């Protein structure tokens, strides 16, 4: 499979959050400010990439040869939880402001279904290690782009004169739906 096609599809045409609807909780919860969204996006890029690499190795080197494929979900969750703890420790030491701004959403990366979804999608697609890394990075970049775009829109909406009935969650969900439709416009350009 062409690596450029994987990148295009993962970032735009089949965006992990806007078209596959994985990772909605942090997408809605953290997308209030651009700075927070960028920090969360960087954490997700790191965790998703590392999780994809480690889960690919565990799956292909340990689970498949030992015929323990049925343990992949549990093994993948343990890998993701460990990586999130690593990110949390690093952020707490290096950037306490971002650590506090991310709040509860940083430990929630552990349960971010987008990260587990990418690991499982790589296994299901039969990607080799290079394709796995490229897909994970591209999917994480797509997640980050969707997060930052939503944060920018929400910052503008905070300043707009919106009916009280639409403020808050209502306008956020309508905006997410419109963004999803916009990203779906890229489907069909590249087929895998």
- Confirm if 123 and 64 have CB atoms less than 8 A apart: no
Average pLDDT over residues 38-52: 88
Q: Which one, of 4, 2, 7, 10, lies nearest residue 121 by Cα? A: 10
Parent domain of 39 = 16-184
**pLDDT the model gives residue 140:** 95
Burial of 28 (0-12, 13-18, 19+ CB in 10 A): middle
Q: Which one, of 177, 155, 172, lies nearest residue 37 by Cα? A: 155
- Confirm if 17 and 142 have CB atoms less than 8 A apart: yes
Average pLDDT over residues 78-94: 87
Average pLDDT over residues 34-52: 88
- Confirm if 19 and 184 have CB atoms less than 8 A apart: yes
**pLDDT the model gives residue 89:** 87
**pLDDT the model gives residue 189:** 79
Q: Checking phi first, is residue 188 left (phi over 0); if not, alpha (psi -120 to 50) or beta?
A: left
Average pLDDT over residues 146-152: 94
**pLDDT the model gives residue 185:** 86
Calculate what percentage of the chain has a pLDDT beyond 70. Answer: 97
**pLDDT the model gives residue 144:** 94
Within-domain flag for 189: no
Total domains in the fold of the chain: 1
- Has residue 64 got a pLDDT over 70? yes
141 confidence band (pLDDT: 50, 70, 90): very high
Within-domain flag for 26: yes
Within-domain flag for 174: yes
118 confidence band (pLDDT: 50, 70, 90): very high
């Amino acid at each position: 499979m062409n690596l450029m096609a994987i990148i295009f599809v993962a970032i735009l045409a089949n965006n992990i959050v806007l078209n596959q609807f994985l990772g909605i909780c942090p997408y809605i919860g953290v997308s209030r400010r651009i700075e927070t969204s960028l920090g969360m996006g960087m954490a997700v890029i790191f965790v998703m990439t590392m999780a994809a690499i480690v889960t690919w190795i565990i799956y292909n080197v340990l689970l498949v040869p030992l015929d323990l494929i049925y343990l992949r979900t549990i093994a993948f969750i343990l890998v993701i939880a460990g990586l999130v703890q690593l990110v949390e420790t690093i952020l707490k030491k290096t950037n306490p402001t971002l650590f506090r701004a991310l709040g509860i959403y940083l430990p929630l990366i552990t349960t971010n279904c987008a990260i587990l979804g990418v690991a499982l999608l790589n296994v299901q697609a039969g990607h080799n290690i290079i394709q796995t890394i490229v897909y994970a990075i591209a999917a994480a970049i797509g997640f980050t782009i969707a997060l930052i775009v939503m944060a920018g829109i929400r910052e503008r909406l905070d300043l707009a004169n919106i009916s009280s009935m639409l403020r808050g969650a209502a306008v956020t969900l309508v905006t997410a739906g419109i963004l999803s439709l916009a990203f779906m416009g890229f489907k069909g350009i590249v087929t895998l």
